[in-house]
Amino acid sequence: MNNAALFTFLADLVLLLHVLFVGFVVFGLLLVVLGKPLGWSWVRNPYFRSIHLVAIVIVAAQAWLGVVCPLTTIEMALRERGGGATYEGAFIAHWLESILYYQAPGWVFAVAYSLFGLLVVASWFWVRPRSFRKAAPDD
């Protein structure tokens, strides 16, 4: 494998990690909401819930501060080193624009992330996590 192929492969791995992170944030909330009526005890795991909340807080804070996600920065640097095409701006904004052909100022995404974050916070009151002291090891 030559250097260009290696950097492209690493960029693709970072992209996969980014997609998994976004999936965790988005589908994590969906699973919590579905988990309550379905009786899934793991959705009350305080470690899962805390990591989920911190993840969306970081995303919203980055958006409000105008900080491009570090995963996007790393991916683009690797793609550039590999001689591949890069894109401007943030990962989510880029793919939303690519998929939906929707362009919006950064504050729109910041508001959307913040509203989603408020839904995650609200889920703490609707589907209360167990205390850390009571967290079962198999949750």
pLDDT tens digits, residue range 94-133? Answer: 665 565 445 778 888 899 999 999 999 999 999 999 998 8
Residue 122 placed within a domain: yes
* Model confidence band, residue 93 (pLDDT cutoffs 50, 70, 90): low
**Is 120 a domain residue?**
yes
**What is the predicted pLDDT for the residue at 72?**
86
How much is the pLDDT for 65?
A: 95
* Containing structural domain, residue 42: 3-130
Residue-wise DSSP of the chain: --HHHHHHHHHHHHHHHHHHHHHHHHHHHHHHHHHHHHT-GGGG-HHHHHHHHHHHHHHHHHHHHTPPPHHHHHHHHHHHHTT----SS-HHHHHHHHHH-----HHHHHHHHHHHHHHHHHHHHHSPPPPGGG--TT-
Tell me if 49 is assigned to some domain. Answer: yes
94 domain-assigned = yes
Q: What is the structure's pLDDT at 127?
A: 96
pLDDT reported for residue 133: 80
Q: Please check whether residue 139 lies inside any domain of the structure.
A: no
Q: How many domains does the chain have?
A: 1
Q: Is residue 115 part of a domain?
A: yes
Examine residue 135 and state whether it is found in any structural domain, yes or no.
Answer: no
Residue 138 located in a structural domain: no
